[in-house]
């Protein structure tokens, strides 16, 4: 990497976007988006005919609003918000005509789910509320006009539901003893005693219902039963007959685009190394073809009007910031809406490569590599591991990839066994393999990068959040000579205590954890969990570690980071521990995110000798508490004392 490449400011990568989450109202009259108000992301509204005449319509002053939807009647905006990262999301409504903002679920210790919406019933939706039993969501009908909540179905053991366009509950699902899923018909809000469909554990993460057509005659499924990758099927709800709609040999069928009135699938996506959309409808095919001729990189649909003539579309060229447009299908015009991070225009963003790496036992690991500008030889590398683990890495603009590449590191993200989207065989190869074959995949990827002349053997860091944080701890504890250092963000250190403190609303799904990780209720399962827990091998860690934790994290409790930090401190191993009292499972507040990545890049610079933007006074705007180890991060002690 040439030292003349300008440093991209952290704030440009991790601060608030200028705008995001663009949508259009159902009638096409209004544009909405998320943008800062006094540094906090809020919802904005403007007439489509005059986008410059915009105003903020929400009033969050602390935590950013994470997302919103238009109510089906187009008369209001609905959004959710939690407190301090506790993930107890409540539902709020903003009236478009009056601007009145009201709480629709004024409860404590409650997590709201939107269970069902309708194209024909515009003034009501179905909600799930766990205020009776924190483990279970009862279904209520919410009148969007009056705010009245009416109990529809009291839940006595089901993990989820499917509803139709008439806002009828049609299907309930629960885990069975084998770790699979049973699906039950629901008639007049009564759940039938026997399931009409069932999956074994091997299909549980790759098979699920995907919604009804508007007339309720067809139930779509994403289904891997009898095959490897999940295919799209249409099931006749009267006869049970199933018709295949789409399949792909390398990847599961992903998202779908539905007809606004009928609910019939018009297009579907497949995401192997990159996402591709495939149209089943001629008009949709023509629209996709025209859009692809206008864009470089990937694009997709964010929002559509009820008549489906106006779309909000996004384009991610990877080497430039993501932009959003208003697409008039009749006029075949694209009108610029906004660029998410305009300050990155002209910045030295680097391309991302989709690659395939072969594991030691022959699995293909779809992966992504970003290299520094001008890199033509081996150098320092960061292995960036995704969370989940039942999630995946994707192609596209990635702020962490771009920052690290800009600082002089190659960045490699690996879809290891257990990652989703690549069929059930790939997921099931991870069963009971935490810290074992799942970790081997990451080590194999490092060896590949070394063999390819990308990484220098003694200059590889490991970094990640959630499961990626666990992988970081496991990397330093189980293979201490592989990595020069690690950055753990909200990662569990003890799998036994992790499973003992899962959020209550995960209880109906706990079997999946026991079957795929190890059951702490059995002698064999407990031994497996302990063997895979970095805490018990903390004394084998020899390389520097940076830990970040949110005090309100409901998934990975603060104790998970406390105990590994304490163990390392007791063994006199370098550890830096940063605690955020107002965060949960990751960073919601941009000042906290900027502060953390400031610490992280200076930590990496200390060990791997890459470039770093000086810390300056970045910590002052954040709530970061340095619990331990300021001396191990370049400039951190001076920043704290200054």
Is the torsion defined by CA of 110, 115, 118, 124 positive or negative? negative
* Tokens 């279904």 found at: 139
Bridge partners of 41, per DSSP, are: 36
Q: Which of 213, 219, 218 is nearest to 262 (CA)?
A: 213
Question: Which pairing describes strands 275-279 and 323-328: parallel, antiparallel, or unpaired?
Answer: unpaired
Distance, in Å, from the CA atom of 429 to the CA atom of 418, rounded to the nearest integer, reads 7
R_g of the chain computed on alpha carbons: 25
Task: Name the DSSP letter for residue 230.
Answer: P
Task: Name the DSSP letter for residue 122.
Answer: T
Task: Name the DSSP letter for residue 285.
Answer: H
Q: Which residues contact 355 (CB under 8 A, 6 or more apart)?
A: 273, 366, 367, 368, 369
User: CA angle 119-120-122, nearest 5°?
Assistant: 85
Q: Give the SS3 label for residue 591.
A: helix
Q: What are the tokens at 423?
A: 């069929």
Omega prior to 368 cis, within 30 of 0: no
Q: Give the SS3 label for residue 598.
A: helix
- Give catalytic residues, as residue numbers: 466, 553, 585
Check if the beta carbon of residue 410 is closer than 8 Å to that of residue 370.
yes
Helix, strand, coil fractions of the chain, as percent rounded to 5: 25, 35, 45
Omega prior to 412 cis, within 30 of 0: no
List C-alpha distances in Å: 56 to 15, 193, 531, 591.
19, 49, 52, 21
- In this structure, which long-range contacts are made by residues 518-526, counting pairs with CB atoms below 8 Å and at least 24 apart in sequence? 518/432, 518/434, 520/496, 526/496
Distance, in Å, from the CA atom of 526 to the CA atom of 528, rounded to the nearest integer, reads 5
Write phi, then psi, for 89 (nearest 5 degrees): -80, 130
Q: What are the tokens at 33?
A: 């988006």
Q: Which helix (H) or strand (E) holds 411?
A: strand 410-414
List C-alpha distances in Å: 362 to 85, 356, 359, 395.
40, 12, 5, 23
Write phi, then psi, for 384 (nearest 5 degrees): -105, 115
Helices 523-531 and 510-517, interaxial angle, to 10°? 70
Q: What are the tokens at 549?
A: 């934790």
Check if the beta carbon of residue 498 is closer than 8 Å to that of residue 560.
yes
Q: For the residues of 460-503, what is the DSSP string, one character each? A: EEEEEETHHHHHHHHHHHHSTTT-SEEEEES--S-HHHHHHT--
Distance, in Å, from the CA atom of 283 to the CA atom of 449, rounded to the nearest integer, reads 44
Check if the beta carbon of residue 424 is closer than 8 Å to that of residue 203.
yes
């Amino acid at each position: 990497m040439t030292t003349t490449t300008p440093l991209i400011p952290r704030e440009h990568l991790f601060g608030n976007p200028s705008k995001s989450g663009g949508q259009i109202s159902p009638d096409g009259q209004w544009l909405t988006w998320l943008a800062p108000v006094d540094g906090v992301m809020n919802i904005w509204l403007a007439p489509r005919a005059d986008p410059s005449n915009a105003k903020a319509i929400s009033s969050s002053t602390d935590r950013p609003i994470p997302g919103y939807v238009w109510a089906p009647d187009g008369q209001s905006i609905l959004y959710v918000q939690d407190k301090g990262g506790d993930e107890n999301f409540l539902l709020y409504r903003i009236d478009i005509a009056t601007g009145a903002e009201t709480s629709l679920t004024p409860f404590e210790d409650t997590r709201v789910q939107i269970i069902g919406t309708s194209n024909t019933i515009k003034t009501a939706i179905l909600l799930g509320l766990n205020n009776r039993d924190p483990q279970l969501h009862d279904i209520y009908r919410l009148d969007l006009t009056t705010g009245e909540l009416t109990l529809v179905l009291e839940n006595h053991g089901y993990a989820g539901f499917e509803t139709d366009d008439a806002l009828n509950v049609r299907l309930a699902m629960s885990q069975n003893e084998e770790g699979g899923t049973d699906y039950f018909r629901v008639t007049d809000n009564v759940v039938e005693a026997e399931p009409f469909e069932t999956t074994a554990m091997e299909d549980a993460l790759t098979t699920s219902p995907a919604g009804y057509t508007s007339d309720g005659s067809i139930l779509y499924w994403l289904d891997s039963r009898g095959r490897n990758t999940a295919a799209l099927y249409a099931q006749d709800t009267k006869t049970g007959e199933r018709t295949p709609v789409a399949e792909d040999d390398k990847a599961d069928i992903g998202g779908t685009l539905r007809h606004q009135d009928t609910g019939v699938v018009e297009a579907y996506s497949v995401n192997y190394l990159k996402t591709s959309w495939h149209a089943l409808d001629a008009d949709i095919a023509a629209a996709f073809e025209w859009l692809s001729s206008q864009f470089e990189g990937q694009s997709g649909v964010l929002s559509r009007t009820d008549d489906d003539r106006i779309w909000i579309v996004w384009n991610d060229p990877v080497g430039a910031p993501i932009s959003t447009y208003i697409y008039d299908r009749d006029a075949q015009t694209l009108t610029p809406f906004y660029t998410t991070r305009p300050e990155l225009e002209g910045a030295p963003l680097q391309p991302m490569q989709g690659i395939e790496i072969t594991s030691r036992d022959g699995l293909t690991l779809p992966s992504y590599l970003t290299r520094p500008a001008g890199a033509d030889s081996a150098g320092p590398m960061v292995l960036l591991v995704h969370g989940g683990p039942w999630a995946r890495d994707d192609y596209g603009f990635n702020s962490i990839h771009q920052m690290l590449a800009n600082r002089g590191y190659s960045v490699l993200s690996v879809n290891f066994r257990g990652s989703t989207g690549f069929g059930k065989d790939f997921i099931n190869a991870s069963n009971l393999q935490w810290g074992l074959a799942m970790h081997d995949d990451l080590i194999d990827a490092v060896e590949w990068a070394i063999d390819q002349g990308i990484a220098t053997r003694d200059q590889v860091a490991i970094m990640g959040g959630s499961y990626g944080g666990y992988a970081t701890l496991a990397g330093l504890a189980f293979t201490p000579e592989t990595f020069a250092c690690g950055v753990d963000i909200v990662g569990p250190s003890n799998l036994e205590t992790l499973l003992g403190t899962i959020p209550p609303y995960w209880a109906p799904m706990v079997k999946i954890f026991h079957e795929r990780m190890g059951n702490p209720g059995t002698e064999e399962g407990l031994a497996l969990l302990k063997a895979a827990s970095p805490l018990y091998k903390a004394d084998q860690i020899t390389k520097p570690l940076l830990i970040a934790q949110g005090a309100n994290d409901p998934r990975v409790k603060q104790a998970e980071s406390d105990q590994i930090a304490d163990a390392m401190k007791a063994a006199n191993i370098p550890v830096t521990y940063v605690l955020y009292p107002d965060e949960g499972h990751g960073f919601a507040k941009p000042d906290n995110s900027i502060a953390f990545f400031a610490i992280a890049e200076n930590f990496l610079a200390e060990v791997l000798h890459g470039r770093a933007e000086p810390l300056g006074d970045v910590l002052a705007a954040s709530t970061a508490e340095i619990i331990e180890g300021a001396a191990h991060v370049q400039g951190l002690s001076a920043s704290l004392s200054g």
